[in-house]
Amino acid sequence: MADEEFTRLYGPWEVVDPVAAAALCEGMDAPWWVAGGWAIEAYAAVQREHGDIDLGVFRRDLPTVLEHFTRTHHVWAAGSGALQPITKPEELPSWATQLWIREHAGGPWLLDLLLTEDREGDWVCRRDPTVVLPLDEATWVSRGIRYLRPEFVLLFKAKRAQPHDEADLSATMPWLDAAGRHRCVDLIGRVHPGHPWLDMLS
């Protein structure tokens, strides 16, 4: 769907940076972390354009997330090309993989929360559920804000590999140590065998 068509149908997104996202999440008694392009920008220190901000939260923490945001914002379940407003955990549709947050019907969308599975409290990779790590190993922290590690961000981006995703790969590669590069090759190779990024990373 083109950006113009998306905006006409669902409304615009406001570009919220990680600092502003942290302010919106302040006081929420559940872990959250920045994913997507903002995580790459923080890691590689290369500025890029952003259409929105993706934050990961554990699906198990849905009651806490809703309690926090529904005080001041509207929360919509998103997934499978559908949107549905929710205020209680039991209202979450089975197809929902994300939560979209905005202040009111006339306001722009502010946050895209990615509902993430856990296994006994550990982070589970959505693209490869065999990868289970303590959250502290799947993420890193800069200036008090937690970010998804670049290897996992690139795994998500490899599925579509659009030009901005390839730019993120190029920006990240010089900063990956040997272990990070090996993990990236292993993850993408298992989920997307024969992916053209594998030659670039090898």
Residue 128 domain-assigned? Answer: yes
Residue 43 domain-assigned? Answer: yes
Residue 119 domain-assigned? Answer: yes
CATH number, residue 20:
3.30.460.40
50: domain range? 12-192
Residue 3 domain-assigned? Answer: no
Residue 7 domain-assigned? Answer: no
Residue 198 domain-assigned? Answer: no
Total structural domains within the chain? 1
Dihedral angle sign, alpha carbons of residues 187, 168, 147, 112: negative
Residue 5 domain-assigned? Answer: no
Residue 200 domain-assigned? Answer: no
| Residue 104 identity (one-letter amino acid) | H
Residue 7 has pLDDT above 80, yes or no: no
d(CA 128, CA 75): 28
- Taking alpha carbons only, the member of 103, 105, 57, 97 closest to residue 81 is 97
Cβ neighbours around 88 below 10 Å, total: 11
Question: Do 132 and 119 form a contact (C-beta atoms < 8 A)?
Answer: yes
132-133 vs 122-124, strand pairing mode:
antiparallel
pLDDT digits (tens, 9 = 90+) for 142-185: 999 999 999 999 999 999 999 999 999 999 999 999 999 999 99
Q: Has this prediction a pTM greater than 0.85?
A: yes
